[in-house]
Amino acid sequence: MTDTSSSSPAVVTRPVAPQQLAWLRTELAGWTSEGIISEEQAALISSRYRSEHHARISVGRVLLYLGAGFVGVGLIWLVAANLDELSPVGRFAAVAAIWLAFLVGGEVLAARRASPPLVGAARLLAALGAGAVLFQAAQSLQVPAYEPRLVGLWAAGTLLHGYLTRSHMPFFVGLVTGVVWWFWQPMWDAPNGLTVVLLLGAGAVLAASLAVLHDGWIDSFAWAWRTVAGGMALLALFAAAVPDIGSDGIEWTTWLVVALVVTGVAALAAVLTRPGLRVLEPLGAAVVLVVATLIGLWTTGTDTSSVDAADWAHAAVAVTAYVVLAVGLVALGTVRNHQHLTWMAMVGLVVFTTFQSFAVFAPIVTGAWLFVVLGTVFLATGFLFDRARRQLAHALDNDSSAGAGDGAEGEAR
Amino acid sequence: MNRIAATGIIAVTQLALVGVGVAPQLSARVTGDTYLVRVAPVDPIDPFRGAYVALDYPDLRHDASQSFVEPGLGALDDGESGDVYVSLVEEGGVWVAETWSRTRPDDGPYLACDDRSWQIRCGIESWFLPQDEARAAEDLLRDGAVAELRVDGRGNAAVVDVRAR
C-alpha cells in the first residue's frame, strides 16, 4: 500500500506583506463569487501564503547588516591604524582569530537555523574579516597595499564563501570587490580610455553569461549578475560616447587579454549549455561590446569650439545605440520580472541624453537655448522610449495570454 | 556539501589566498640574502595608517623628484610606466644602485620595482612601527642609519631592520 500522505509534496507557505495577502483574499473572493474558481480552490490558493510583517523585519535586517558593515569596516580600520602595540605576528593572529570566529559562528548559526538576517550579518562580518586578515598580513610584511592584487584575492575568497554556502552577503562582498578588481588590475598596467570601454563591455558579456548560467541553479545570484551586466552595458556605451575617449587607441596588456579570453569562455559556456532564447543576453551584451568599441574608436577631432557633421553623426549614432540598449534592457526586465533593469535603463537614458546634449551642443548653444535644445532632445527620446516600452509590454502580454498562461503579472501601462 | 567540510575549505582557501598575497615579501624574508643600504627619513606619520617611518634611500634614488603622496625613489620619466629593475653594487660596505632598467637583469642582485604611480617603488619605502618607536626611529635616521634588506632571486625585497650605521 502506498502512503500518499508521505509521498505528496509538502505545501510550502510563502511569506507576503499583509497588504498583499489582503489584496489576494479580496481577489479570490471576487473570483469565487463570479464562478471562476471554486471555494476549495480559493482556500487552497489562500493557504499557500502567510502574512508577515516585512516592515518590522526589514528594519531589523537593515540594522543587523548595517551593524555588521560598520563592525567589519571598523575592524579593518582598527587593524590598519591602531593595533601598533602588538607585534606583527600578534596582530595577524588576533585578526585571524576574529575572522575565524565569525566564519565558524555564521555557519553554526546557519546549521541551527537561526534567523536569516542574523546569519547574514555573521557571514558579512566573516567576508569583511577575510579582507582584514589579508590586509593585516600585507601590512605586517610591508606588502604594498596600493596594488590591485590584494583586492582580487579578497574577491576570490569571498566569492568562494558565497558559492559554497549559497549565502548572499559574502557573495555581495565578492561581487563588489571583484568588480573593483576587474577594472583596477588592467588599468594598473594601462590607464587608457578605451581600456575602460572594453572592460565595461567585456564585463557586461561576462556578467550576462554568468546570469544565464546561474538561471535555475542559483536564481538570486543570477539576479545579481544580471544587474551587473545591465549596469556595465549602460556604462560601456556611456563611456564610449564621451568625445575622443579612444583617441589613444587600444593599448593591449596581458590582463586585458586575459579579461577578454575569460569573457569569451563564459559566453561560449552560456551558448553551449543554455540553448534557446536565453543566449540573446550574452549575445546582446557582445553586440554592446562591439558597438561601444567602434564608437569609442570613432574620433571626431578635439576642436570643441565647432560642431561639424562628424560630431552630429557621432552623437546621433551614440544616442540611437543607447536608446536601443535601453529598450532591450526594459524588454529583459519585463521578461525576467526584473524591475531594477527597467529603472536602470530609464535613469541611464536620462543621464546619457543630458550628458550628450551638454557635450555636443554646449560649445555652440549657450544659456537658455541649451535648455530648450536639451528639453527637446529629451522629450523626443522619452516619447520614443515610452512608446517602444508600451508596444513591447503589449506584445509580451499578448504572447503570455496566448501561451501557457503562467500567471505572470502584466506590466503596468 | 557537508557544512563542516565547506567551512574548512573556505577557511583554508582564504588563508592560502593570504599566502599568495604576501608571497613576494615572504619569499624575500625567508629565502632572500641580506643587503645594507643607507636610509634617510621622509615623512613620519600617516594619520590613516598608523605610525610608520617613510624611508628614503639616497643611494638607490634615480633623481631628486619626490611625491608627497607616495614616497618613492625618483622617476625615470622615459615616457613609459611599469616594471623597473634596479641593479645593485657594493660600495664602501653598503649597496648602491648601479643601473635602472625596464628589463629584468640576467643576474643579481637587483630590486624588482615599478613606477606605475610615477615614482619608482620597490616595496621598501615604509616601515611600520609603534608610535613611540617611530619617533625614536626618526631620530636614528637623522643621525645616519642603514636599512637591512632581504632580497630574493626575483628582486623581491623586504625591510627587516633599520639601525645606526
The residues with which B146 forms a beta bridge, in sequence order, are: B38, B163
Q: Is A10 on the interface with B (CB under 8 A)?
A: no
CB contact under 8 A, A80 and B24: no
The predicted structure's pLDDT at residue A405: 41
Q: Is B123 on the interface with A (CB under 8 A)?
A: yes
Q: Is the pTM of this model over 0.80?
A: no
Residues 6+ apart with CB under 8 A from A132: A72, A75, A76, A79, A95, A98, A99
Distance from CA of B69 to the nearest CA of A (A): 12
Q: Residue type for A290, please?
A: V
Mean of pLDDT values over B26-53: 75
CB contact under 8 A, A103 and B158: no
Residues 6+ apart with CB under 8 A from B165: B38, B144, B145, B146
Distance from CA of B100 to the nearest CA of A (A): 19
CB contact under 8 A, A141 and B22: yes
The predicted structure's pLDDT at residue A1: 36
- Specify whether the CB–CB gap between B105 and B89 falls below 8 A: no
CB contact under 8 A, A81 and B50: yes
Tell me how far apart the alpha carbons of residues B118 and A191 are, in angstroms, rounded to a whole number: 13
Tell me how far apart the alpha carbons of residues B37 and B94 are, in angstroms, rounded to a whole number: 5
Q: Residue A142: how many CB atoms within 10 A of its CB? A: 23
Q: How far is CA A246 from the centre of its chain?
A: 26
The predicted structure's pLDDT at residue B44: 47
Q: Is B144 on the interface with A (CB under 8 A)?
A: no
Q: Which residue has the higher pLDDT, A92 or B45?
A: A92
Mean of pLDDT values over B113-136: 80
Nearest Cα neighbor of A341 from A325, A356, A318 is A325
Window 17-76 of B: residues touching A by CB (8 A cutoff) are 17-18, 20-22, 24-26, 29, 48-51, 70
Nearest Cα neighbor of B19 from A285, A149, A121 is A149
ipTM: 0.82
Distance from CA of B20 to the nearest CA of A (A): 8
Q: What is the dihedral of CA A281, A283, A286, A292, to 10 degrees?
A: -70
CB contact under 8 A, A130 and B13: no
CB contact under 8 A, A84 and B130: yes
Nearest Cα neighbor of B123 from B73, B162, B64, B79 is B73
Q: Which of A142, A184, A188, A252 to mutate to test the interface with B (most CBs of B within 10 A)?
A: A142
Q: Is B99 on the interface with A (CB under 8 A)?
A: no
Q: Considering CB atoms only, which of B20, B24, B48 is closest to A81?
A: B48
pLDDT at B51 over 70: no
CB contact under 8 A, A164 and B10: yes
Q: Is A153 on the interface with B (CB under 8 A)?
A: yes
Distance from CA of A16 to the nearest CA of B (A): 30
Q: Quote the strand ranges of A216-261, DSSP E.
A: none
- Specify whether the CB–CB gap between A132 and A173 falls below 8 A: no
Instruction: Find cell 582580487 and name the residue.
Output: A152
What is the pLDDT tens value at each position of chain A, 413 positions in all?
Answer: 334 444 444 556 777 777 788 888 888 988 988 888 888 888 888 888 877 655 445 666 777 777 777 777 776 666 656 556 667 777 788 889 989 999 999 999 999 988 888 899 899 999 999 998 998 888 778 777 677 899 999 999 999 999 999 999 999 999 999 999 999 988 887 888 899 999 999 999 999 999 999 998 898 899 999 999 999 999 999 999 887 888 888 888 899 999 999 999 999 999 999 888 888 999 999 999 999 999 999 887 666 666 677 877 888 888 889 988 988 898 888 788 788 888 898 888 888 877 877 776 666 666 666 667 667 776 776 777 677 667 766 766 665 555 444 433 333 33
Q: What is the dihedral of CA B14, B20, B22, B26, to 10 degrees?
A: 120
Nearest Cα neighbor of A223 from A308, A341, A326, A133 is A341
CB contact under 8 A, A103 and B48: no
Nearest Cα neighbor of A253 from B80, B120, B70, B76 is B80
The predicted structure's pLDDT at residue B131: 66
pLDDT, chain B, mean: 85
Nearest-by-CA chain A residue for B81: A189
Q: Considering CB atoms only, which of B82, B124, B131 is closest to A84?
A: B131
Beta strand A49-51 with B157-164: parallel, antiparallel or unpaired?
A: unpaired
**Which grid cell is A335?**
521578461
pLDDT at B143 over 80: no
CB contact under 8 A, A133 and B14: yes
The predicted structure's pLDDT at residue A10: 52
Cα torsion A253, A254, A260, A263: sign: negative
Q: Is B40 exposed, middle or buried (0-12, 13-18, 19+ CB in 10 A)?
A: middle
Q: Considering CB atoms only, which of B15, B70, B127 is closest to A142?
A: B127
Q: Is B10 on the interface with A (CB under 8 A)?
A: yes
Q: Is A78 on the interface with B (CB under 8 A)?
A: no
Angle between helix axes A149-165 and A88-111 (nearest 10 degrees) is: 20
Task: Tell me the three state secondary structure of residue A126.
Answer: helix
Q: What is each CA distance from B121 to A166, A252, A306, B116, in whole angstroms?
A: 41, 24, 44, 9
Q: Residue type for A199, please?
A: L
Radius of gyration of chain A measured on its C-alpha atoms = 26
**Which grid cell is A382?**
522619452
Q: Is A111 on the interface with B (CB under 8 A)?
A: yes
Question: Which chain A residues touch B30 with a CB distance below 8 Å?
Answer: none
Mean of pLDDT values over B18-24: 92
